Amino acid sequence: MSQVFRVVNQYYDDFESYRHVFKLGNFRFLTCIFLMLLLIVSVLWRLQVISISFINVDNSVKTSFVFILEFLFVFSCFSLNDLRDKQVVSNMQRKLKTNEKRIEKLKSLWLQKTIDIEVNEYLSLATELDSMLVLRKKHSGSYLSSLVNVMPFIYSSDSKNRILALFIAASAATVSLSIAAGANINDVFLVINELGGAQILKYVFLAVFIIFAMVMGIKYTAWMICTALYLMSDKLKNINDVDEFRVSLFIRQLLASHTLKKAKVMAVDILRP
How far, in Å, CA of 93 to CA of 79, rounded?
Answer: 21
On whether the CB atoms of residues 123 and 15 are closer than 8 A, the answer is no
C-alpha torsion sign, points 195, 199, 201, 202? negative
- State the pLDDT confidence band at 95, using cuts at 50, 70 and 90: very high
Query: Region 115-139: what's the mean pLDDT?
Result: 83
- The mean per-residue pLDDT over the stretch 256-270 comes to 64
CA 77 – CA 67 distance, rounded (Å): 15
143 pLDDT higher than 50: no
Band of residue 270 on the pLDDT scale cut at 50, 70, 90? very low
Could you read off the pLDDT of 25-69 as tens digits, one per residue?
A: 899 999 999 999 999 999 888 888 888 777 788 888 888 888 899
**Predicted local confidence at residue 245, as pLDDT:** 84
pLDDT at 80: 94
User: Does pLDDT of 139 surpass 50?
Assistant: yes
Give the pLDDT mean for 138-156. Answer: 52
Count of Cβ atoms closer than 10 Å to residue 112 Cβ: 14
Per-residue pLDDT tens digits for 178-211 = 666 565 556 555 666 666 667 777 777 777 777 8
**Orientation angle between helical segments 2-11 and 103-114, nearest 10 degrees:** 160
pLDDT, tens digit, for every residue of 216-257?
888 899 889 888 888 888 766 666 567 788 888 899 999 988
Higher local confidence (pLDDT), 12 or 271: 12
Provide the sign of the torsion angle of the four alpha carbons 184, 165, 229, 219, taken in this order: negative
- Region 120-145: what's the mean pLDDT? 75
Whether residue 36 contacts residue 221, with contact meaning beta carbons closer than 8 Å, is answered with yes
